[in-house]
Amino acid sequence: MKQYVDRTARTVTALKEANTELSEANIRISAMSKELEEGYQETLHALVSALDVRDSEVHGHSQRVVQLSLQIAAQLGIPPESEAWRDLEHGALLHDVGKIGVPDAILRKPGELTPEEWQLMRQHPAKGCAMLQQVHFLRGAALIAHCHHERYDGTGYPRGLAGEAIPLTARIFAVADAFDAMTSCRPYRQPLSVEEACQEIRRSSGTQFDPQVVEAFRALPASASDEGSLRQAA
């Protein structure tokens, strides 16, 4: 009996030690995963910064649309720990990565593009998608790069998708992207006010934008904009 008790005690002790070692290993793995994720994020932001330098008129645009896209996602009830949230964050940040393949003469042209130049410019969603799909954890983000110029009514490009055929993350991004573009300075026009931009988005509900996403955008609190309350403006 004593031998049985001793063996049991040794087994329990060994299991406790193994459990402690496993816990310590999990802590080390978690720390390494966090460092790896931070490294990925730093790399992504460095890439976007390089794109901003190349296309100076949209400086800071990607970072701003990330924040607004996530605020809309939260309003729609998408959990921050979800895959959709992560895809939206990465996709909003990298939506224009395909412009790497657009010649500087077109990207920086101050005047109107020719039909041939527009044809080249309109290839950047597919190019961006192809680039991001090569990275496993960015495959969901690739859908945003591919679909960010699609329209809810099916008149967008490159594939003419309509309604729910467009991924929800891309439909969310479309509203955030349009709002930031309209309220930002461009060489060829002055920015719209927050109120004017919100009215334009509301007018485009059901045509350019998903009505459900527009309603979520209109419900955002004042903190969603540095320039005032989106809720009141919409």
In this predicted structure, the answer to whether residue 71 has a pLDDT above a threshold of 50 is yes
* pLDDT tens, residue by residue, 158-184: 999 999 999 999 999 999 999 999 998
What topology does CATH give the domain 58-233? Hypothetical protein af1432 (1.10.3210)
**Whole-prediction pTM value?**
0.77
Peptide bond just before 158 cis, omega within 30 deg:
yes
Segments making up each domain of the chain, as ranges: 1-54, 58-233
Question: What is the predicted pLDDT for the residue at 39?
Answer: 58
* pLDDT tens, residue by residue, 93-140: 999 999 888 888 888 887 788 999 999 999 999 999 999 999 888 999
Distance CA(77)–CA(37), nearest Å, equals 25
Distance CA(197)–CA(69), nearest Å, equals 16
Distance CA(64)–CA(60), nearest Å, equals 6
- Confidence grade of residue 60 (pLDDT, cut at 50, 70, 90): confident
DSSP 29-91: HHHHHHHHHHHHHHHHHHHHHHHHHHTGGGTTHHHHHHHHHHHHHHHTT--TTSHHHHHHHHH
